[in-house]
Amino acid sequence: MRVYLRKAIALLLSVLLLASSGCALREREEGEDFSIVASFYPMYIILLNITDGIDNVHVHVMAQQHTGCLHDYQLQSSDMQELTKADVFVVNGAGMENFLSRVTEQLPDLPVITATEGMKLLHEDGTAHDHDEDEDHEEEDVNPHVWVSVEGAMQEVETITQGLMKTDPAHAEAYRQNADRYLQQLQALSDEMHAALDPYAGTSIVTFHEAFPYFAEEFGLNIAAVVNREPESEPSARELADTIDLIRHSHVKAVFAEPQYSTDTAQTVAQESGVPVYLLDPCTSGAMDKEAYLTAMRQNMQVLQQALQG
Ligand SMILES: [Zn+2]
């Protein structure tokens, strides 16, 4: 009898383990919590929209204290703790989360939704900038800043929605409805921005870090130079001189710094080359509400209109 009981318990345990490890398609009980962790801010804002008003679905953002992109981000033990409790991890992908392999090694059963999956990506060296000193070149050669274009953000919304509908079928309908509403708002934003910015197609600009190629492509702008390709470090004097030289000898309208980083370098470049400096927001941090991306992009639209006219 005891042996039988032990066997039964062992069987039950293995069934439970199987059920929890293969949880990707597990139907949730009514009222059971579903916890989504976003790797960083742009994914978080998208998720706030897709999960808006859905009971028992919670969104957390990793790297919350970190402003800016995740380039060179070191995974904290608190991040792993958060992920251990998560039902799904939503990442941008395309090399933005360089710690991702560590997460999937330690939590092989955690479903991961990659927002850029299947997307046509731009190469990192899309701008005319030669890569002479190749220090540790661990970065992927694709540019991950897809969400900075409205079109890219819309594709990410769609991919994340599909992923959530599969991972959490109990809320599939609600995710779909929310996503459709958000996609409509993004489409309206895109229309508005095209109406405002299409007249400036072909204009050359200089940006602070490599965050804007998708945005530039969307609105036909030409990124003549990037002040600081690696935003966590300072550009060399030689790189700065080259950028200033390039601006002086081309028809660059403005230098754009980013609110997430010090504007000192961009300011120096702008002063030396005689063009104004403005702030352009790559939406890598900001207000923690679901309107934040729409608001920041409208702000970008106004800044660009002001900077590029005349
Ligand atoms: Zn970045």
Would you call 81 exposed, middle or buried from its count of C-beta atoms within 10 A (0-12, 13-18, 19+)?
A: exposed
| DSSP character at residue 96 | S
Residue 291 reports pLDDT greater than 70: yes
Q: Is the pLDDT of residue 15 over 80?
A: no
Instruction: Kindly give the distance from the C-alpha atom of residue 21 to the centroid of ligand 1, in angstroms, as a whole number.
Output: 34
Backbone angles phi, psi at 8, to 5 degrees: -65, -40
CA distances from 120 to 116, 160, 172 (A): 8, 16, 26
Q: Give percent of the chain above pLDDT 70.
A: 84
**First vs last Cα of the chain: how many Å apart?**
90
Whether pLDDT at 65 is above 70: no
How many residues comprise the chain? 310
* Distance separating alpha carbons of residues 228 and 236, to the nearest angstrom: 9
Name the phi and psi angles at 36, rounded to 5: -110, 130
Residue with more model confidence, 141 or 125: 141
The first and second tokens of residue 33, run together, are 């919590």
10-38 burial by CB neighbour count: b if 16+ within 10 A, else e?
eeeeeeeeeeeeebeebebeeeeebebbb
- Separation of CA 229 and ligand 1 centre (Å): 9
Q: How far is the CA of 3 from the centre of ligand 1 (A)?
A: 59
How far is ligand 1, taken at its centre, from the CA of residue 193, in Å?
Answer: 22
Query: What's the pLDDT score for residue 19?
Result: 47
C-alpha of residue 24 to centroid of ligand 1, in Å: 30
Ligand 1 mean position, distance from CA 75 (Å): 17
Averaged over 69-85, what is the pLDDT? 91
Least confident of 61-65, 114-118, 176-180: 61-65
Residue 202 tokens read as: 């072909």
C-alpha 231 to ligand 1 mean position (Å): 7
Higher per-residue pLDDT: 226 or 310: 226
Separation of CA 143 and ligand 1 centre (Å): 9
pLDDT band, very low/low/confident/very high, at 69 (cuts 50, 70, 90): confident
Which whole number is the average pLDDT over 19-33? 57
Amino acid symbol at 235: P
Full set of structural domains in the chain with CATH: 31-128+143-189 (3.40.50.1980), 196-308 (3.40.50.1980)
Query: Ligand 1 centre and the CA of 67: distance in Å?
Result: 11
Rounded to the nearest angstrom, the distance between the alpha carbon of 45 and the centre of ligand 1 is: 17
Mean pLDDT score of the chain: 87
> Contacts by 296-303 with C-beta closer than 8 Å and gap 24+?
297/150, 297/189, 297/193, 298/189, 298/192, 298/193, 300/215, 301/192, 301/193, 301/196, 301/197, 303/278, 303/279
Cα-to-centroid distance, 157 and ligand 1 (Å): 19
